[in-house]
Structure 1
Amino acid sequence: MKSPIRIVLAGGCALGLLSAPAAAWAEQPAAAAPKPAATAKPTAKPTAKPKPVDCTKVKCIALTFDDGPGKYADKLLATLKKHDAKATFFLEGQYVKSRPKLAKQIVDAGHDIGNHSYSHPKFTETSIDEIREELQKTQDIVKKVTGRYPTTIRPPYGLLDDDTKTVAAEMKMPIILWNGGSRDWATRNEKAIYDEVLKNAKRDGVILMHDWVAQTVTVMPKLLTELKKQGYHLVAVSSLPGAKALKPAEVFPVSAAADKDLSTDSPTGDPDDFAESPADDS
């Protein structure tokens, strides 16, 4: 028979063994919850610049807009951007002066700009000194407003003579005419403008239009959609084959200078033609 003292001692030891670990666990601090692994931020990929269109390999056409910046130019620029299209704007100095923000928007959007005189006189009825003044005055105001000089000349109404070529040679600028029109200034009708452009559209063609004609700007989304459907890439004149290496006073398109029907695409300057871009309050 075991001694009562031993039983008590044994019981006490057993109780100590049971209680000691519990006290030890209580003294240990709670383990901190593991921090979630940091998620690496995705590296933004640089936006790739669109490759320039090679018009020797694809079908191109150049839409050109005279007498600008017209009062609807901002709407036209938005449409061109939406359709990933480039164009060429032949600016008049007087409207660059009155609409400087629109002129700057044209340049900032990456479109070509040309010199279309300051006040739109007929160069064939103007002295060589006046031609020189008209073009230089426009060069100066466009540079001041946009930070860029026009690099080409389009004489008003497409009227060209030796004096104009002489001044163009002095200024080291080629002359850009057209080989297809829209007659937007005459019809002021969306369907008529649409049909006329499509009738004259051809590969490497240069089409004359006006950004001050409201119907031209309104029909532009439909027109661009159809031209692209027909396989055309809408480019600035400088992208067309033969336009990049033009010499001062050289005329482009080559056949345009000899085209007797060229003037029918442009207002003649008679009051009934409504040839002038309207002012902002008209």
Structure 2
Amino acid sequence: MNKNTYCKRKGIILRNDSKRFIALTFDDGPSPYTLEILKILKTLQVKATFFILGESLDKYPGILQAIVEDGHSVANHTMNHPDITQISRDVLLEEIHTLNTELKKSAVQDIRFFRPPYGAINEETYQILHELGIIPVLWDIDTNDWDLSQEDQIEDRVMDGIRGEKEYKIILMHDGGGPRERTVQALPRVIEKLKQKGYQFLTMPEYFYHVYNIKS
């Protein structure tokens, strides 16, 4: 779901802000790669949002605390990574509530944001999320960092993605779900290039405030 669709449904007027905003988001973790990513983010003084996958959290429960202690935002990416448009309402509620319960034990955050696996969402699932008070979040720039067959550089995909008039973007990367060495290697270059372009890095709650004027 893009920003214009979300805003139209909510009756929200986008803020007219001249600043450039980037929301770095990482899916499918936590994993050992998350710890490497956290080191880079701390060194470069950047905050991000981690869309946590329940089955990954079960394997690496201690890493969630490291994410939170470093001041990053955490959000829901389901327990088992299903296509939510292909499951029942009851299964979707279980996927969300089970993970939210686990996240709140350590995160001490209000888990308001949700990323549907594969970016799959329809009217029915949107309405369920809306009833729960959960905000679905997709992305503007897909780095395709999961696809190890691609020969071009991840940072080049990001720089191609920021072209255009819109000065606010959500970037999709991955800290779990497979080998993420290329993501870890590319991340410092991605951050430095975006900083050179004047982008300010925001967590998802900050992003929704600055772009939508919504406090969450």
Q: TM-score range with shorter-chain normalisation?
A: 0.7 to 0.9
Distance 1:238 1:147 in 2: 14
Aligned-CA RMSD value: 2.2
| Equivalent residue number for residue 132 of structure 1 | 93
Is this contact kept in 2: 1:67–1:210, CA < 8 A? yes
Alignment pair present for 1:187 and 2:148: yes
| Equivalent residue number for residue 62 of structure 1 | 23
Alignment pair present for 1:209 and 2:178: no
Structure 1 residue 70: Cα displacement: 2.8
Alignment pair present for 1:79 and 2:43: no
Structure with larger Rg: 1
Is this contact kept in 2: 1:237–1:243, CA < 8 A? no
Stretches of structure 1 that go unaligned for 5 or more consecutive residues are 1-54, 248-282
Distance 2:46 2:102 in 1: 26
Structure 1 residue 155: Cα displacement: 0.7
Structure 1 residue 244: Cα displacement: 4.6
- What percent identity do the matched residue pairs reach? 32
Is this contact kept in 1: 2:74–2:107, CA < 8 A? no
- SS at 1:62's partner residue? strand
Is this contact kept in 2: 1:189–1:215, CA < 8 A? no
Within-5 A mapping of 1:1-282: 56-187=17-148, 191-201=152-162, 203-212=167-176, 213-240=180-207, 241-245=210-214
Equivalent residue pairs, number: 194
Stretches of structure 2 that go unaligned for 5 or more consecutive residues are 1-15
Is this contact kept in 2: 1:182–1:208, CA < 8 A? yes
- State the TM-score, normalized to the length of structure 2: 0.82
Compare relative contact order (CA 8 Å, sep 6+) and give the higher one, 1 or 2. 2
Report the AA paired with residue 230 of structure 1. Answer: K
Distance 2:215 2:202 in 1: 17
Distance 1:166 1:216 in 2: 34
Distance 1:94 1:220 in 2: 24
Structure 1 residue 189: Cα displacement: 6.1
Residues 243 and 101 of structure 1: is their aligned pair in 2 closer, same or farther, counting only changes over 3 Å? farther
- SS at 2:106's partner residue? helix
Distance 1:132 1:204 in 2: 31
